[in-house]
Structure 1
Amino acid sequence: MQYDVIIRHARLHRQPELVDIAIQDGQFARIARDLSSVTAAREIDAAGRLLSPPFIDAHVHLDAVLTLGQPRYNQSGTLLEGIQIWSERKQSLTHEDVRRRALEEIRWEVAQGTLHIRSHVDACDPDLTALRALLEVREEVRDMCDLQLVAFPQDGILSFPGGRELMRRAMELGCDVVGGIPHYEWTRDMGVEDVHYAFALAKEFNRDIDCHCDETDDPLSRFTEVMAADTIEQSWQGRVTASHCTAMHSYDNAYAFKLIGLLARAQVNVVANPFDNVVLQGRFDSYPKRRGITRVKELLASGVNVALGHDSIMDPWFPMGRGDMLAAAQLALYLCHMSGYEEIDAVFDLITANAAKTLRIQDRYGIEEGKPADFLLLDAPNAFEALRLLPARLHVFKRGREVATTTPAHSVLHRQDGSDDQSVTYRPQLQ
């Protein structure tokens, strides 16, 4: 038979031998070392490059993206000033404003190989303007990206007037995941109740949970343990994510050891957000300054599933970024001291397999026969080189259809003596 597409001579993550991959009707039909006996309507020679399942952004705020400087810049660089600026900006939100910015950022992410996104959306708005817009966007982008929406109480479930009712309305409108923000509530007791209410809502609507949790330098902020305990008590293992958990970098080692063990037992996922974590945390330090990211390396070593998010993109919290999850993984590699050769492979998992587990999409994710043909081809031979170079995403496919292409930059060195021009590949050309 003739297939729709064949990718020849591709390298898969952690697999030494090259393979040919045949795609038919939007699915991976055959994967083998040699499919030279069959043809396809379109063939792509990967030439030994890395073919990866799509990147996943496990934590972003699409309602706030691309609002940098509106109405003003975050001069202190703190999380709290960012929240204040956002509270001012969201007064002028409109349906079309949110929709336009979110669609633009989704296009950026898709072009860079991210085909699954979990976005938190502020539910502390009596009109739920941003949520209604993003529910529309979720349907509008289905042909190129799968979008999960988290009902996120930016100003608190208990501390914001009518917070409980707004969270319920958000779930009734169609949010995929229940959120929370216990460390931002006014008191410790209110923070605990924030977690309990999120679990009650999740049980009622049969939804997963993803709470911003302990996003602070305060070593006394300890709501992640409450999430883990509720997970066990409510038998919600595998369905709960604690995002940020930056206070963990300030815990003493004895308590961190206990907490990490509890998270592993409860099968709670952790999502770190390297860009925001390193920029927003440690702002009250002189020297030495804390790195501000949770204990990714230690969590992984104890069997806790860890994924990464981009979090903010040109907004009141993070002025930079373009939605590149490979760049987020590279930063995590630096910050978390994961530069060992095998550790680098594990970093690549943070934006692929681990993130798929966090979003609970493993049954339809990965380069396997019978699964949807979602993938990207990088201009690099393996994960090590991909994380070193942040290369072009040459081809991006969603269900067997090409949704994005990138032509890599070409650098040429011109010699003064007039000799031949030399291409610069940024790969060692050593004997």
Structure 2
Amino acid sequence: MDIINARLRHSNELHHLTIRDGRFSQIHVQSGVKALEEGQIDAQGYLICAPFIEPHIHLDAALTAGEPDWNHSGTLFEGIERWAQRKPLLSEADLRSRVLKTVQMLVERGVQHIRTHVDTTDPSLLGLHTLCALRDELRDCIDIQVVAFPQEGIHSFPKGEALLEAAIEAGADVVGGIPHFEYTRELGEASVKTLVKLAIKYDKLIDVHCDEIDDPGSRFLEVLAAEALFNDIGERVTASHTTAMHSYDNAYCSKLFRLLKRSNINFVSCPTESIHLQGRFDTFPKRRGVTRVKELTAAGMNVCFGQDSIFDPWYSLGNGSLLRTLDFGLHICQMMGYKDFQTSLNFITDNAARTLNLGEEYGIAVGKPASFILLQGEDDYSVLRQQSDVLLSVRKGKILMQREPSRVITTLDLPA
């Protein structure tokens, strides 16, 4: 396979990419526009980009909004209650059907890597077993990391720790937690130490729902970062949400950032869901309730964006588009300068790859797997502004999805 007339990120020149045996064998600058030959794909001057990455989603809950009831308050905690009502209705067929539909939605929008949190506070661990099986079945078309996620707590749910460890032994890739949902501060701190202990024991990555609350007194992030620092595992640790940081005072954040930088942990923000769930107890002024993405990024820390939910008890919209999430995130976090736009795709590509520990196999370079997407735009800015279509998705040299560029025909007679 050869791709001609392609643009690469941060370059104005056209490129010719040659793919052999599923890897990039050559990438070179063209002298001008090339005519299409047999066996080639014409990128038509559009942008070749490393695949999109969904670093935080709940596939086990996707497409269940309103079953058996809607989240009327729009709060995180009612969402957990509605999900607790839905769990008894789970079956393998139900899970497989919804997960496959959601994965198809993501693939069609350029995603090739997913990290999904799966509830382990279900004594049957049905969701965990089903997602691990689907992960293995789908590995030729998409990479899925399964997080063992104790939705109702490690120490506040009956046998929560035992279920979490059983989920790890059953094949989970990542260890999760939710310390702010534990009954007490002490139980929350204990849950962080427990999940870190289990991750080290089984050599797993860590991704914690951390301080997903407006409470400025919720400070489990410092506990997680300290554990990462003291155990020298920061690159393998992710703090998701951290929305309480929006409510921290600046003096505390100044101290906290010192620890966060030294710990080298990663961050996932889910801006569409966070702005929906947080601030629910405010009248006015009303908080955005999204973590300090701009400040974390400026301090040199790794932050990426995820969707979190697609039509589930916590968020009743969503269509699988990470470009939509990116657009919302930059608006909400007031990252609307031209320099922000120039590298905006990092939040759903390179930064997310670092969070998922994808290593040197991710990206567009000679010798790497030929996994990429073609976007209907010329650079990060135009793709973001136009919310561009994904025209082509290729994984290790194999086409996963292809669509024609959108064209609009209008009969409106505008003056010259």
TM-score, normalised with respect to structure 2: 0.97
Question: How many angstroms apart in 2 are the aligned matches of 1:99 and 1:150?
Answer: 17
Gaps of 5+ in 1: 423-429
- The residue type equivalent to 1:398 in the other structure is R
1:150/1:178 contact within 8 Å kept: yes
Q: 1:313 aligns with which of 305, 310, 322?
A: 310
Q: Secondary structure at the match of 1:350?
A: helix
Contact map agreement 1:99 1:133 (CA 8 A) in 2: yes
Residues in 1 aligned to 2:252 and 2:405: alpha-carbon distance in whole angstroms: 47
Q: What residue in structure 2 maps to residue 301 of structure 1?
A: 298
Following superposition of structure 1 onto structure 2, how do residues 134-149 of structure 1 map, counting pairs within 5 Å? 134-149=131-146
Task: Write the distance in 1 (CA, Å) between the matches of 2:135 and 2:208.
Answer: 21
- Are residues 1:93 and 2:90 paired? yes
Give SS of 2:239's match: strand
User: In structure 1, how many angstroms separate the alpha carbons of the residues matched to 2:167 and 2:94?
Assistant: 19
2:30 corresponds to: 34
Is it true that 1:124 corresponds to 2:121 in the alignment? yes
Structure 1 segments (4+ residues) deviating >4 Å = 35-41
Structure 2 partner of 1:343: 340
The one-letter code sitting in structure 1 at the alignment partner of 2:153 is G
Q: Distance in 1 between matches of 2:215 and 2:299?
A: 23
Q: Partner residue of 1:359?
A: 356
* 1:20–1:35 contact (8 Å) kept in structure 2: no
**1:426 corresponds to:** none
CA contact (8 A) 1:96 1:133 kept: no
Q: Does 1:52 align with 2:49?
A: yes
Residues 84-138 of structure 1, C-alpha deviation per residue, up to 9 Å, x if partnerless? 0000001111111111101110000011100000000000011101011101110
Q: Does the aligned pair in 2 maintain the 1:180–1:210 contact within 8 Å? A: yes
Aligned partner of 1:232 in structure 2 is 229
Deviation at 1:34, TM superposition (A): 2.9
Distance in structure 2 (CA, Å) of the matches to 1:246 and 1:220: 12
3-state SS of paired residue (1:157): coil
Deviation at 1:352, TM superposition (A): 0.3
CA distance in 2, matches of 1:168, 1:381: 47
1:407 Cα offset (Å)? 3.0
Aligned-residue offset at 1:38: 12
Mean alpha-carbon deviation: is it higher for 58-67 or for 341-350? Answer: 341-350
- Aligned equivalents of 2:250 and 2:213: distance in 1? 17
**Matching residue of 1:10:** 6
Q: Distance in 2 between matches of 1:64 and 1:369?
A: 39
Q: CA RMSD in A?
A: 1.8
2:408 equivalent in structure 1: 411
The aligned amino acid for 1:11 is R
For the Cα contact (< 8 Å) 1:212–1:243, is it kept in 2?
Answer: yes
Amino acid at match of 1:18: L
- Aligned partner letter, 2:339: E
User: Post-superposition shift, 1:28?
Assistant: 0.9
Report the 3-state secondary structure (helix = DSSP H, G, I; strand = E; otherwise coil) of the residue aligned with 1:11: strand
Retained in 2: the 8 A contact 1:65–1:315?
yes
Number of residue pairs the alignment of both structures matches: 415
Query: Are 2:366 and 1:369 aligned?
Result: yes
